[in-house]
Structure 1
Amino acid sequence: MAAARTENGIVIDAPFDLVWDITNDVAGWPDLFSEYAVADVLERHGNTVRFRLALHPEPDGKVWSWVSERVMDRENRSVRARRVETGPFAFMNIHWTYEQTGAGVELRWVQEFRMKPDASVDDAAMTARINENSKVQLALIKERVEAAARAGAGTAVAR
């Protein structure tokens, strides 16, 4: 069975170093993404970071969380990530790339995954959810990183 795959991207009008630094500051992700309530860094080794993300509580109080690992390769302008605690996924791998364009830095996310057979949604439904949410999150990242660039904020995210 082939993996499900999504690909989403956006161009951010800001210097590469700022885009890289803000988007790879995992501890700051609750200020960058609207979906994360908590981002706890569990360990760091060189360019690898292992962390726990928690979403905002659902109306019934349920909080979804998981552990992921990111390996950052600044020289090649890419990041590879995978869920360590997979939850409803059989696996989830994410590849982020950063490409300089005339209009700014294109941030692109490719996600490959497969849902477990007993998950509440199948691959097609999760693909639709990821594609919809990625557009929202990428637009927020663009807005917040560009605001930080305009403010000369270093790696701080403007809210």
Structure 2
Amino acid sequence: MPGHTENQVIVHAPMDLVWDRTNDVADWPNLFTEYSKAEVLEDTGDRVRFRLTMFPDEQGRVWSWVSERELDPANRTVVARRVETGPFEYMRIRWTYHEVEGGVLMRWTQDFAMKPDAPVDDAAMTERINANTPIQMNAIKRVLEAEAAALPAPGSGTPASEAP
């Protein structure tokens, strides 16, 4: 049975900051804790093809793959898929962003299936994704909330974190 996960976090930062920073793929190593490198291969504005490289795993293996993201700025959604699928038959991710009081609700919905010869099955990968995604979302949250706190408060030159 294919895997499906949904994870979300509220980032207390302006929508434009959250949208712009999470869609700056080349800078992902500064947002995610698991990526050592993000190389943009093609960028047409609303579609980005890129190679991600992870830090070595416990066995010293380095995982890398090519993915593609299609951005819909008007609806604040992104649809992504792995082009080089590796152990996956397919991997699709939908990112949605919704303004909520005090910030942005960022949700990642992932649908995938593992190949029969993959080192883990769909259920085990679902568990891995559900364990790791909150870690990555919270890493992004920390970075973006710190950046938001350093922004000038509306109508002043004082960073929001220092405003009265």
Same fold (TM over 0.5): yes
Opposite residue 91 of structure 2, the aligned amino acid is M
Large movers: runs of 4+ above 4 Å: none
> CA separation in 1, counterparts of 2:17 and 2:45?
20
Structure 2, unpaired ranges of 5+: 153-164
RMSD, aligned CA: 1.1
SS at match of 1:11: strand
> CA separation in 2, counterparts of 1:107 and 1:40?
23
Aligned residues: 152
Opposite residue 87 of structure 2, the aligned amino acid is P
Structure 1, unpaired ranges of 5+: 154-159
SS at match of 1:87: coil
Opposite residue 63 of structure 2, the aligned amino acid is W
Structure 1 or 2, whichever has the larger Rg, is 2
| Partner of residue 147, structure 1 | 146
SS at match of 1:75: coil
> CA separation in 1, counterparts of 2:61 and 2:4?
27
| Partner of residue 119, structure 2 | 120
> CA separation in 1, counterparts of 2:42 and 2:70?
12
> CA separation in 1, counterparts of 2:59 and 2:101?
46
> CA separation in 2, counterparts of 1:60 and 1:97?
34
| Partner of residue 13, structure 2 | 14
| Partner of residue 157, structure 1 | none
Within-5 A mapping of 1:2-151: 2-151=1-150
Give the share of equivalent positions with the same residue, in percent. Answer: 58
> CA separation in 1, counterparts of 2:147 and 2:56?
28
TM-score by length of 2: 0.90
SS at match of 1:14: coil
> CA separation in 1, counterparts of 2:58 and 2:99?
40
CA shift, 1:72, in A, is 0.7
